[in-house]
Amino acid sequence: MSTTDELRRIWLFEGLTEDQLNSLSPFTYRKKFGPGELIVEEGHTGNGLYLIVSGNVEAVKGLGTEQQQTVNKLGAGEVFGEMALLGEWPRTASVRAVDHVECLGIDRWVFLAQLERQPKVGIRMLHILAQKLRDSDARLVE
C-alpha cells in the first residue's frame, strides 16, 4: 500500500484530493516499535500524529502508577496524536506497543509548513474538525 493510500485512511484527511494527499506524502516517516515500547508519553508535548500501519497499541493513563488505566486499544488503520498536528498540547495518555508495531508519522512543523503551501488542505481540515466537534457535542448531549 502506498503512503498516499495510507494517508487516505486517516479521518483527518477524508475528502482531500489525490493531489493534496500526494503533497503530504513526502513529509511522512515510518517507525517501528517492539512489544511494550513506549511510543508517546502522557504529559509530554506532542509533535505529530501516528497512523498504525500494522500491529496494536494501547493508550494508558497514569502509566506506572497505582491509578494506571488502559483507556483505548488501537490497531492497523487507526490514528493517535492528531491534535498534536495543530498545537503544542501535552499528550493526554501514554501509548505503547502491544506487539510489533509499524507507524506512519507526520510531524507538526512539517505539516504546518505544508499547509502554508497548500491552504486548501487546511481549509478542508477545518471543516472535518468542525464536523467531528459537532458530532462529539451531540454525543455528550445524548
Number of separate domains in the chain: 1
Quote the DSSP letter at residue 55.
S
Which tens digits make up the pLDDT trace of 79-128? 888 878 778 888 989 999 999 999 999 888 888 887 787 787 777 767 76
Question: Which triple of cell numbers denotes residue 55?
Answer: 500491529
For residue 10, what are the CA distances in angstroms to 50, 81, 96, 138, 141?
Answer: 10, 12, 20, 22, 26
CATH number of the domain where residue 57 is located: 2.60.120.10
- Residue span of the structural domain in which 121 resides: 3-141
The region, left, alpha or beta by phi > 0 then psi within -120 to 50, assigned to residue 19 is alpha
Which tens digits make up the pLDDT trace of 29-39? 999 999 999 99
pLDDT at position 66 is 92
Contact 21, 7 (CB under 8 A): yes
| pTM above threshold 0.85 | no
